[in-house]
Copies of this chain bind each other. A is one copy, B any other.
Amino acid sequence: MKRERADRPVAQSGRKLGPRALKTRERILRATSELLAERSVLDLPVVDIARRAGTSPATFYHYFKDVDELALALAERASEEMPDVAAWIRASMGGPDGLERARALVDAFLEHWDRHHAILTLRNMAADRGDSRFLRIRQENIGPVLSALASEIKRGQREQRISKEIHPFAAAAALASFLERLSAHHRDLGALGATREDIRETCARILVQTLEGSAPA
């Protein structure tokens, strides 16, 4: 597979791109983002992308092998903007301002999803489907978060705050799961009377309680 770096895009022919070409490529990426936000992830034909970008299908193929590759480029770009949640976690949720740090963390997660909802959904669907390229991106994004969470659990276990019966990575996966899912779907919870703030607060508290072994003060 031709590995594509965001800062060094290349035409399908392998030639480097001039400034005009870069702009066109950018228009195609942007058009795809827009379409993605407007309709289903499964309904993304080359023709429509090209039309939206004000160009032709033939041009599309100068820049991308197929729609998947384009989606991959978008997913990589979105993933790069993922906040460094792992660092926050390592800063620990204990002590008096632990809850405040947890809130900031959840908030960053929510915001990241708000900004890239469509493409992150696509990335996860493709990964669930088993596509190794999207799995890799997802793994690079979530992996460090899982590790950081698991480390905190282990620390809690050493310090006797958390039961040894809990499996650090299973717990980490559980926490990451609901963080991600609620971030992706927090709007739907409005129907149940939960605002974005409610979700942030609730997630932060469950997070602290699980990592610390007891509810925050």
- Contact, CB under 8 Å: B205 / A165: yes
Interface membership of A114, Cβ < 8 A: no
| Bound Cα distance A173, B121 (Å) | 18
| Nearest-Cβ distance from residue A100 to partner chain B, whole angstroms | 13
On chain A, the number of residues with a Cβ less than 8 Å from chain B's Cβ atoms is 43
Q: If the complex has contacts A42-B42, A163-B215, A201-B167, are A175 and B173 also in contact, measured as CB distance less than 8 A? A: no
Identify which of residues 74-90 in chain A touch chain B, using a CB-to-CB cut-off of 8 Å: none
Against B, the Cβ 8 Å flags (1 = close, 0 = not) of A156-199 are 00000011011101110111011001100100010011100011
- Contact, CB under 8 Å: A202 / B129: no
Kindly list chain B residues whose C-beta atoms are within 8 Å of the C-beta of A214: 214-215
Apart from A167-B194, A170-B192, A174-B206, what are 10 other A-B pairs with CB-CB below 8 Å?
A: A40-B130, A42-B129, A165-B205, A166-B206, A167-B199, A170-B203, A171-B202, A173-B178, A173-B189, A175-B178
